[in-house]
Amino acid sequence: MPPHILKQAIQDAIWTDDMQESIWNKSSGYEQSPALQRLCRWWNENAPNPEYRRAANIVLWVRVEDDSEYWAGWYECPNIDIGVLTSEMSANVGQHVIVQFLQGRDAYTPIGGYGCMIWGVDGCEYIDVGATVDEVDEAYYGHHMLKDFPDRFPVAWKCLHDLAQ
């Protein structure tokens, strides 16, 4: 992914005001975030496998230390090993950031009486959530990973800024 696309999406998320977020929270959901739409539009036009051009959300992964792990953009998510993400479901941005793409709310599937599954664009399970489909808006986390990126990962933000010049 070209660095300027991610940089602009982060800026879009930062510039989104709280009033707009409260509207998404109560109605259409965070998939309406211009930041998420920018990234997902890029993926849906450029994914190497046309069958996987169904992104509506993202997860950010950042290489913070010189080890075998990427840190999640959301502080509550565990780190992952470098080899887990493939180009079928994600895009590299420089050497430090990976954007993983997820399907949207319309693809969430119920699990039992009180849970649902969130799916990657590759059709593989991303995460099961202990809430009903109607209660879950996983894109909230995608939007806030972008919005919080400069504060959470200042070195990666500087590198991204430099790459996007």
pLDDT one-digit tens code per residue, 36-72: 999 999 999 999 999 999 999 999 999 998 888 999 9
pLDDT of amino acid 8? 97
φ, ψ at 124 (rounded to 5°): -90, 155
Domain range for residue 77?
A: 3-103+137-159
pLDDT of amino acid 17? 72
pLDDT of amino acid 134? 87
Name the more confident of 95 and 53.
Answer: 53
Contact 55, 142 (CB under 8 A): no
User: Residue 59 region, left (φ>0) first, then alpha (ψ -120 to 50), else beta?
Assistant: beta
Is 117 domain-assigned? no
Contact 52, 40 (CB under 8 A): no
For residue 27, is pLDDT > 60?
A: no
Q: How many domains does the chain fold into?
A: 1
Q: Which residue do the tokens 């959530």 mark?
A: 129
For residue 108, is pLDDT > 70?
A: yes
Tell me how far apart the alpha carbons of residues 14 and 10 are, in angstroms, rounded to a whole number: 6
Percentage of the residues of the chain whose pLDDT score is greater than 70: 94
For residue 24, is pLDDT > 70?
A: no
What are the DSSP calls for 28-69, one per residue? T-GGG-HHHHHHHHHHHHH-SSGGG----EEEEEE--SSSSE
Tell me how far apart the alpha carbons of residues 54 and 31 are, in angstroms, rounded to a whole number: 12
DSSP state of 77: S
For residue 23, is pLDDT > 70?
A: no
Is 109 domain-assigned? no
Tell me how far apart the alpha carbons of residues 158 and 23 are, in angstroms, rounded to a whole number: 31
Is 58 domain-assigned? yes
Is 154 domain-assigned? yes
Is 73 domain-assigned? yes
Is 23 domain-assigned? yes
pLDDT of amino acid 25? 64
Is 128 domain-assigned? no
Burial 115-138 (b: 16+ CB within 10 A, else e): ebbbbbbbeeebeebeeebeebbb
